[in-house]
Amino acid sequence: MKTDLYNFQGEKIGEIELPEIFNIEFNPALVHQVLRWHQLNTYYPYAHTKTRGEVRGGGRKPWPQKGTGRARHGSIRSPIWKGGGVTFGPRKEEKKQIKINKKMKKKALLMTLSEKLRQNLLKVIDKIEPKEYKTKEFEKFFSKFLQPRKTKKKKESALLVIESDKPEIYRSVRNLPYADAISARNLNLIELLNHKYLFLTKDSINELTKRFKMTQTNADYTRTNADRTGIKHDNIRDEFDTIRDKFVDKNIESLRKSASSLRRSAFKK
């Protein structure tokens, strides 16, 4: 799959052939599942209320049950009292974590990358070589692709993916309200969905290819593994047969010897 290749000045300098990881069919239901997994597993239950048994105080009865003319009460920490416990309030013990298989997470990320490419929201850069690592240099670069918007961010959102951690790039981009930078090994679904445009360097594409290791198609991979498994099982079966034959021959020989010795002892008697 081919796409345009740009330099850091925003000029088109040619085309680049992208690997198979950028050519996967989009499945919205799977992406939603993995997105929900991200959100729930990063959620921390900060809200926590105390029941009437956990609030300090309220150990004695406020007034006698009868004789005062007032309503009967057993504790000043009852949920109907000011300063009392909370009924059915949020609790820390509530667990919202869910489980997602590794293959599902990987596939959701790859199909989101592929969908960005199909919608022409993915741009490939040859190299990041500014005159100096300043915010203004990166703002000039992003202005070649991003349209202005009447929001606080002022422009369409963008995510710059670099091959490895580079503090000078992080410092230059973090002052831009509409852009973020991330390394290829830390790329995740939340960041992809939170930004409209995705900018990849050639080296970051190589890193992503290594990370996901999709050098074969799924059919080829399955067939190769099946062949290997068959060969392995055949070898094990042959070895087992050889060992069994040796064991049987040895036992038969020992039985013959013991039978002949029994015969000799019987004749002697």
Any idea which residue has 């820390």 for tokens? 92
Structure tokens given for 24: 């996967």
CA distance 171 to 130: 14
pLDDT computed for residue 247 by the predictor: 65
Closest C-alpha to 127, from 12, 7, 5: 7
pLDDT bucket at 154, cuts 50 / 70 / 90: confident
Whether domain 2-43+105-212 has CATH 3.40.1370.10: the reply is yes
Contact 95, 102 (CB under 8 A): no
For residue 200, pLDDT over 70 is answered with yes
Supply 1's token pair.
């799959």
Model confidence band, residue 268 (pLDDT cutoffs 50, 70, 90): low
Average the pLDDT over 96-112 and give the result: 93
Say what percent of the chain tops pLDDT 90.
65
- What is residue 80's predicted lDDT score, i.e. its pLDDT? 95
Amino acid at 18: L
**Predicted pLDDT of residue 104:** 95
Least confident of 21-35, 130-144, 150-164, 225-239: 225-239
- Backbone angles phi and psi of 65, in degrees to 5: -65, -40
Amino acid 87: pLDDT: 95
Region 106-112: mean pLDDT is 95
pLDDT band at 142 (very low <50, low <70, confident <90, very high): very high
Rounded Cα–Cα distance for residues 188 and 203 (Å): 18
pLDDT tens sequence across 237-259? 677 677 667 666 666 667 666 66
Indicate the average pLDDT of the chain: 85
| 3-state secondary structure string across 199-253 | EEEHHHHHHHHHHHCCCCCHHHHHHHHHHHHHHHHHHHHHHHHHHHHHHHHHHHH
Residue 210 clears pLDDT 50, i.e. is over it: yes
Domain boundary assignment for the chain: 2-43+105-212, 47-95, 218-269
pLDDT attached to residue 216: 42
- The pLDDT of residue 222 is 40
- 172/131 Cα distance (integer angstroms): 12
Q: What is the pLDDT of residues 39-76, one digit of tens each?
A: 999 888 889 999 999 999 999 999 999 999 999 999 99
Edge-to-edge strands, sheet with 12-17:
12-17, 2-6, 122-125, 197-201, 158-162, 179-183
